[in-house]
């Protein structure tokens, strides 16, 4: 997932957030910018407190918010509610890191350490570490529960088991304690068809779906697939946006494909050269 951190001058808070996330959560890519940035170097205190935890942000130079950064970002995280208000006033969806991070600019080194620790704590809560692995039978019960949470006509545990036995490939995102999300794909010759992809609500917007799709792209490379295709409800704009950012294009429509409620499905396909 591409994450953009936004603050005022982009010399203290957002560079620390960018550096911390890129250092610890390598399944994501972070950048940062400031609403009033003027191509300034990162503050010395920010540099020092990040070095103390093994993160080098010494080469950072502040950058302004641009249309290119907005187009790049899949998730925008502001350092304060006031930054969010500015972005939403121009029609940009954003969220605040925790309840907001106070600006340490001009304060002593201990204030910067407290700011760093608060940023790290809030990011850890947002981006819990997980891995994507091949399904095991122990995961089926949780996946069946996830199906019920996400879909009006969910697959049963037995249906999932039967599909697994007959060749459908399933992968789960797990933090070692529970399933966060899953994806299934049916491979026919050099074609891949996603059966379902789902993430528990409390783990959405944390890069789980992106990581699951990247796992399928890796499988596509391994199996030399020519494309991966899926269906999505026409009204599911958030999912469609994610798929488009991951390289899927609309190649058709299935009339009244879904029930409860009845709705058309868009056919989205990612082709591999």
- Catalytic residue positions? 231, 243
Give the separation between CA 165 and CA 185, rounded to whole angstroms.
13
DSSP string, the chain: -EEEEEESSSSSHHHHHHHHHHHH-TTSEEEEEETT--SPBPPHHHHHHHHTTT---TT-B--B--HHHHHH-SEEEESSHHHHHHHHHTT---EESTT-----TT--HHHHHHHHHHHHHHHHHHS---EEEE--GGGHHHHHHHHHHH-SSPPPHHHHHHHHHTT-EEEEEE-SSSEEEEEEEEEETTEEEEEEEEE-GGGTTSSHHHHHHHHHHHHHHHHT-SEEEEEEETT-HHHHHHHHHTT-EEEEEEEEEETTTTEEEEEEEEE--
Question: From residue 77, how far is each of 4, 26, 142 by CA, in Å?
Answer: 6, 17, 30
Chain position carrying tokens 């996330």: 21
């Amino acid at each position: 997932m591409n994450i953009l951190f936004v603050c005022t001058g982009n010399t203290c808070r957002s560079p620390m957030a960018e550096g911390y996330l890129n250092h610890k959560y390598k399944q994501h890519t972070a950048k940062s910018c400031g609403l009033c940035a003027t191509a300034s170097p990162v503050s010395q205190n920010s540099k020092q407190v990040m070095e103390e935890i093994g993160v080098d942000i010494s080469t950072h130079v502040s950058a302004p918010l641009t249309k290119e950064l907005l187009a790049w970002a899949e998730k925008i995280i502001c350092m304060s509610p006031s930054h969010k208000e500015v972005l939403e006033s121009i029609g940009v969806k954003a969220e605040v890191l925790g309840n907001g991070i106070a600006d340490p600019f001009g304060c002593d080194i201990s204030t910067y350490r407290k700011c760093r620790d608060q940023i790290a704590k809030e990011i850890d809560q947002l981006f819990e570490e997980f891995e994507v692995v091949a399904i095991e039978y122990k995961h089926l019960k949780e996946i069946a529960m996830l199906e019920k949470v996400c879909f009006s006509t969910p697959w049963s545990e037995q249906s999932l088991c039967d599909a697994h036995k007959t060749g459908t490939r399933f992968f789960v995102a797990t933090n070692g304690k529970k399933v966060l999300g899953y994806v299934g794909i049916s491979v026919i010759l050099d074609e891949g068809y996603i059966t379902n992809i789902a993430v528990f609500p409390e783990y959405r917007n944390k890069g789980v779906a992106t990581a699951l799709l990247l796992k399928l792209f890796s499988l596509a490379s391994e199996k030399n697939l020519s494309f991966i295709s899926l269906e999505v409800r026409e009204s599911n704009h958030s999912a469609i946006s994610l798929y488009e950012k991951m390289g899927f294009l609309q190649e058709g429509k299935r009339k009244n494909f879904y029930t409860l409620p009845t709705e058309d499905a868009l056919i989205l396909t990612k082709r591999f050269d």
